[in-house]
Amino acid sequence: MLRGFDRLFALLAASLSVQSVLAEEQAVERWGVNMPKGVTEVAQTTYELHMLIFWICVAIGALVFGVMFYSMWRHRKSKGYKAAQFHESTAVELVWTIIPTVILILMAIPATKTLYEIYDTDKADLDIMITGYQWKWKYDYIGSDVTFFSNLSTPRSQINNEQPKSPNYLLEVDEPLVVPIKKKIRFLITANDVIHAWWVPDLAVKKDAIPGFINESWTRIEEPGIYRGQCAELCGKDHGFMPIVVKAVPQEEYNAWLDGRVASAVKMRELTGKTFTFDELFAQGEKVYNSMCAACHQPNGKGVPGVFPAIAGSKIATGPLNTHLDIVIDGSQVNPAMQAFGEQLSEVDIAAVITYQRNAFGNEMGDTVQPVDILNFKNKQ
Amino acid sequence: MAHGPQTGLKRWLYTTNHKDIGTLYLWFSFAMFFLGGCMALIIRAELFEPGLQIVQPEFFNQMTTMHGLIMVFGAVMPAFVGLANWMVPMMIGAPDMALPRMNNWSFWILPFGFAMLASTLFMEGGAPNFGWTFYAPLSTEYAPPSVTFFIFSIHILGASSIMGAINIIATILNMRAPGMTLMKMPLFVWTWLITAYLLIAVMPVLAGVVTMMLMDIHFGTSFFSAAGGGDPVLFQHVFWFFGHPEVYIMILPAFGIISAIIPTFTRKPLFGYSSMVYATAAIAFLSMIVWAHHMFTVGMPIAGELFFMYATMLISVPTGVKIFNWVSTMFRGSMTFETPMLFAIAFIILFAIGGFSGLMLAIAPADFQYHDTYFVVAHFHYVLVPGAIFSITAGVYYWLPKWTGNMYNETMGKVHFWLAFIGLNLTFFPMHFVGLAGMPRRIPDYALQFADFNQMASMGAFLFGAAQVVFLFNVVRTVMGGKKATDKVWDNPEGLEWTVPSPAPYHTFSTPPVIR
């Protein structure tokens, strides 16, 4: 909780140096004051709509506040101004009911048009299923074998201020969503546990990911580039650490990437039969642990008391192997926060992470779990 | 005939006097305002720069949740109820509230409700951490065990609000002085009458939704779990059917306060009294049919989006009428700028800005971009801080001499105003920018491009907090003593409350005044 207010004062003192940490050329972006214009037609229409409403509001504001400041300046008692006593005028009140209504109708027309455009998800060239998990995104390319998770790649040491922050701090992932440009891409959006929202400002796509329901949205990106966003619905403690990165590339590059992805999926399946050494498993397990488990059980395996149990010295990680396999593969019946990782991770990764958990943080079980063991366990069920 | 209050603790514990209960409500609200404010300062201290410095994300989420709940249910609503208790009987020429013993109850269950809510901070797993909107299933399947205490606490707060509302309606409809027709009532009384109906309409809905949560958590139902045949979006519909009128509950009485203050300091009658009444009623009605504009991104059918968009846009018409009427009242008046007037003018300007961003949010396609960003945080703080807090502050300064018989310190009042005004704008204006630039709300840490505006906002928040300490000091000093106030206090105030001595006697109007 509170780590002492002396840190706050140290921070206040350090605040001036924050400015110099950031490169000069980022200055313009750093002071971003408006919605991005975006890289899709919908985003640009939305931007224009936003600016239109904004300027109408500014104009009305200038008028109303103008009259107000004028009377505050002119009609002061200290200047000897005598108050008039009028207090009713049906005509005037009708005028300022009717004029705003007309303005609203004028606003509603372009808004309705844009809304129809956003809702038109028909005739997509490519369908991608997006699933929100606490706290990562899963992408399924429908019609191919390609499916993967996308995790925050900013190291914990940067978040805890032990290391300088990278330029894309908190907006970088290990596996970006790769899509082709100039293609209509339909997103099917859902969630596995709680409600999340998938949002990329440059694409003007924001849609809630709701467990048990599938929402639709679409985009057609005109320019190649990397577009960043974040989860936009409070989804628990790591809500702020759930970035989205979309990499839009030309069609050929996309095809090549997809082929590579399919090939590595095949290779991964072959690896299931291989026998690994303890060290290989332990090293891979540490990687998997840090991307999949550390958000709850903490990087040091100590958990969060009362919320997320510890791995260090836990009954499960130092007890019978089958109980451990069961909870990792099928999740917990008691605590829904513990997801079923059987479908999320490959056999190799599950074997590795279980080996790691049983031998790290002072747990010294000496177990070596092979991918085959995982496969056998799954098949028995 | 003239008997005074009991002495000591008993006076406050057993009191059925509307003035004592009003005072209790106001002090309770003030205490909660400081508690919720300290939580806001923890949030702003953490957001002073990127990275995790002061608190961990779990505790950050608890702070955002508790800050919201305490400010809504602990600070703003009880303050308005306190003002109603003090002023409504005096404004309509009644000797007291219609149901004085229930009045005592509706106050005294509040501290217990909040003690229960605050106690969750010390429970294993921590306090509620799912935001003040507590969307299921985060608040049901994935919530800390303390959620059960949170649910009971909400039930208690709701019961208190409903009792308070019944009392106000009964008082206004039955106890007006002879000759005071409905269309002669002060606007503060009118706005509270309408607010009380809103409360009775929607507080049971909140009680219903938390009961459904309780059933899901402990009794095996699945209202909000798709796996059991329920619907997580159902929660949002029920919640916002309460939640949207709720935000109007927190603003309508403010309209009444401002409509009392502006004419006093412009020395000119309020412009368009009857259209003010109709506009208030129209806003209350519209507030009940626009709830789903909080849910534009849940995936509603387009017909639903369009209906809620149009209905929401329509609210700006009656709200505009109110603003135009206040400005017309000021136009060709003879203005002076005492502290209540300064707060009232700031209310009009800043509330209008909050209204503009509200209109922008109503435009569904643009809302897809604004939704759940700091733009929304900026919007509702511009509506609630100047709207509710500034109007309450203005009301306190305006009526304090009548309550205590002493004048507050004008210089200190002006210092309070300017510090609060600058602090508020410094805190919340930059939030529009970071929101538009892409910063989601409710995140404990953020990307580097949002750093500068967040730093500004945090400094503004501490300034705003410091301003309130000046306020506290000024109020305590005035209660203790000071320059004696006249009966009329201000130059040309309107209303029955100014016909009685300052301080107002413990029992007013034992013979009803006659209104011509």
DSSP 8-state code for residue A82: P
Residue A23: pLDDT over 70:
no
pLDDT in tens, B56-69: 999 999 999 999 99
pLDDT reported for residue A210? 97
Q: How many CB atoms lie within 10 A of CB A86?
A: 14
pLDDT in tens, B415-469: 999 999 999 999 999 999 999 999 999 999 999 999 999 999 999 999 999 999 9
Task: Pinpoint the alpha helices (H) of chain A.
Answer: 5-21, 27-30, 41-74, 90-119, 156-159, 251-271, 278-288, 294-297, 321-330, 347-359, 371-380
pLDDT in tens, B345-374: 999 999 999 999 999 999 999 999 999 999
**Residue A300 pLDDT level (bands cut at 50, 70, 90):** confident
pLDDT reported for residue A25? 40
Residue whose C-alpha is closest to residue B53's, from A202, A96, A13, A274: A13
- Cβ-defined contact of B448 to A158 (cutoff 8 Å): no
Interface test with A, best of B66, B122, B138, B141 (most A CBs within 10 A): B138
Q: CB-based contact (8 Å) between B267 and chain A?
A: yes
The mean of the pLDDT values for chain B is 95
Q: Which of B19, B294, B371, B432 is catalytic?
A: B294
pLDDT reported for residue A116? 96
**Residue A316 pLDDT level (bands cut at 50, 70, 90):** confident
Q: Helix or strand or coil: residue A112?
A: helix
Quick check: ipTM above 0.90?
A: yes
DSSP 8-state code for residue B497: G
Q: CB-based contact (8 Å) between A55 and chain B?
A: no
Residue A112: pLDDT over 80:
yes
Percent above pLDDT 90 for chain A:
56
- What mean pLDDT comes out for the span B102-111? 96
Residue B249: pLDDT over 90:
yes
**Residue A11 pLDDT level (bands cut at 50, 70, 90):** very low
pLDDT reported for residue A18? 42
pLDDT reported for residue B114? 96
- What mean pLDDT comes out for the span B496-513? 92
Q: Say how far residue B113 (Cα) sits from the centre of its chain.
A: 18
The alpha-carbon gap from A137 to the nearest alpha carbon of chain B, in Å, equals: 17
Q: Which of B106, B171, B259, B357 is catalytic?
A: B259
Separation CA A331–CA A342 (nearest Å): 8
Separation CA B263–CA B366 (nearest Å): 38
**Residue A30 pLDDT level (bands cut at 50, 70, 90):** low
pLDDT in tens, A210-236: 999 999 999 999 999 999 999 999 999
Q: Which of A28-32, A55-59, B39-43, B95-99 has the lowest mean pLDDT?
A: A28-32
> pTM value?
0.91
Interface test with B, best of A1, A17, A234, A338 (most B CBs within 10 A): A234
Q: How many CB atoms lie within 10 A of CB B431?
A: 26
Non-local CB neighbours of A319 within 8 Å, separated by 6+ positions: none
pLDDT reported for residue A271? 83
pLDDT in tens, B381-392: 999 999 999 999
Question: Residues 68-127, chain A: which have Cβ within 8 Å of B?
Answer: 68, 71-72, 75-78, 81-89, 92-93, 96-97, 100-101, 104, 107-108, 111-112, 114-116, 118-119
- What mean pLDDT comes out for the span B79-86? 97
Query: Dihedral of CA B160/B161/B167/B170: which sign?
Result: negative
All domains in chain A, ordered by first residue: 18-71+89-120 (no CATH), 126-269 (2.60.40.420), 273-380 (1.10.760.10)
**Residue A162 pLDDT level (bands cut at 50, 70, 90):** very high
pLDDT in tens, A230-241: 999 999 999 999
pLDDT reported for residue A31? 64
**Nearest beta carbon to residue B369 from set A35, A78, A210:** A35
pLDDT reported for residue A176? 96
pLDDT in tens, A181-216: 999 999 999 999 999 999 999 999 999 999 999 999
CB contacts of B329 in chain A (<8 Å) are 87
pLDDT in tens, B177-196: 999 999 999 999 999 999 99
* DSSP string across A258-310: HHHHHHHHHHHHHHTTSPPPHHHHHHHHHHHIIIIIHHHH-TTS--BTTTB--
pLDDT in tens, A245-274: 999 999 999 999 999 998 888 887 788 888
**Nearest beta carbon to residue B142 from set A84, A236, A305:** A236
Q: CB-based contact (8 Å) between B50 and chain A?
A: yes
Task: Decide: B206 and B154 in contact? Cβ < 8 Å.
Answer: yes
- What mean pLDDT comes out for the span B472-497? 93
Task: Pinpoint the alpha helices (H) of B226-293.
Answer: 232-249, 252-266, 273-287
Percent above pLDDT 70 for chain A:
92
CB pairs under 8 A between A and B: 324
Q: Which of A20-29, A201-210, B468-477 has the lowest mean pLDDT?
A: A20-29
Active site residue B222: no
Task: Decide: B130 and B69 in contact? Cβ < 8 Å.
Answer: no
The alpha-carbon gap from B223 to the nearest alpha carbon of chain A, in Å, equals: 13
Percent above pLDDT 90 for chain B:
95
**Residue A330 pLDDT level (bands cut at 50, 70, 90):** confident
Residue B235: pLDDT over 70:
yes
Active site residue B498: no
pLDDT reported for residue B257? 97
Q: CB-based contact (8 Å) between A182 and chain B?
A: no
